[in-house]
Amino acid sequence: MSDFSGPTYTEAGKAFERDMDYIPDRLRAGEQPADALEGEYGADADAPVWPVEPGRYRLVAAKACPWANRSIIVRSLLGLEDVISLGLPGPTHDERSWTFDLDPGGVDPVLGIERLQEAFLNRDPDYAKGITVPAIVEVETKQVVTNDFPWITHDFFFEWRDHHRPDAPDLWPDECREEMEAVMKRVFTEVNNGVYRCGFAGSQEAYESAYERLFAALDWLEERLTDRRYLMGESITEADVRLFTTLARFDPVYHGHFKCNRNKLSEMPALWGYARDLFQTPGFGESIDFEQIKAHYYVVHTDINPTGIVPLGPDTAGWLTPHGRG
């Protein structure tokens, strides 16, 4: 049993609503107008802009967190490892913030801080919003630049093009951009966020509504992926990255911990094959640490799992079995 005392996530009698109020700053390569991102929410046209500059920034992204996991995958797919360093907080945190307990002495070796909170307070000593990952931190000043997670991966692709590896995938193909944004919007609202609406529901009614919405979307995805390798066809896009991080956590966490238990991911043939296909693709599987994922959810969410007991299962060996796709 853990004695970890963490924040609460449910509110009695209410449905879960995600707070999307992040630091809106952008990393941009030039003065061109901001690209529209319709998949999740619009940009702040007046947000401060920071220059793209190799070595200037550090991505802080915990492997346990699905939103941060996206940025780790995209950084790897695009070959940005040598221009944006990576800091990895441990899987658990309290009300104050993520900590660097995986590093020697519990200190990030580049930023020299123990808590991500320090970078936020360096930017604004009165900062009172959530301390979240992923976050981009300026190395020299040790201050956070942005934690606006959809824009971080978007800008890794569009604004850091000059630093991509030569064979980097086209994660935002022009020919299917409009459809991809619609797909990503449904994935975000109904799946990425849908599992949280189930897990953090404050009433039976809110939970049942969230449950029905989630599995309606998963059934739609199961059908969509029956006759195509990836969400947008034969090539990996940002849409696949965004769906994958939820699927990787489904059976180890969401099925039991969040009560998303109509069926397991491994019982949906197309989605399970698709998830294994991505997992076995360089850049994806190595970003997944199932033990950290389970520790994060089962230890941090003390209002849902007050004992702090972390389950031993499920067996994750199936992720490496042949997927039969492509």
CA R_g for the chain: 19
Catalytic residue among 57, 196, 211, 274: 196
Q: For residue 297, indicate whether it is catalytic.
A: no
Instruction: List residues bridging with 144 in a β-sheet.
Output: 137
Q: For residue 57, indicate whether it is catalytic.
A: no
- Residue whose pair of structure tokens reads 């702040």 in the numeric block: 44
Own/partner pairs for 298-303, CB < 8 Å, 24+ apart? 298/253, 298/257, 299/2, 299/4, 299/6, 299/91, 299/92, 300/4, 300/6, 300/7, 300/92, 300/93, 301/6, 301/9, 301/199, 301/257, 302/4, 302/5, 302/6, 302/8, 303/8, 303/9, 303/10
CA dihedral 187, 191, 197, 199 (to 10 degrees): -160
Q: Quick one: which of 140, 99, 101, 102 has its CA closest to 116?
A: 99
State how far the Cα of 100 lies from the Cα of 169, in Å rounded to an integer: 31
Catalytic residue among 65, 207, 260, 298: 65
- Residue whose pair of structure tokens reads 């491994």 in the numeric block: 266
Taking CA atoms, 128 is separated from 125, 187, 278, in Å, by: 9, 29, 37
Cβ 241 vs Cβ 76: under 8 Å:
no
Cβ 136 vs Cβ 110: under 8 Å:
no
Cβ 23 vs Cβ 144: under 8 Å:
yes
Q: Which residues are catalytic?
A: 65, 196
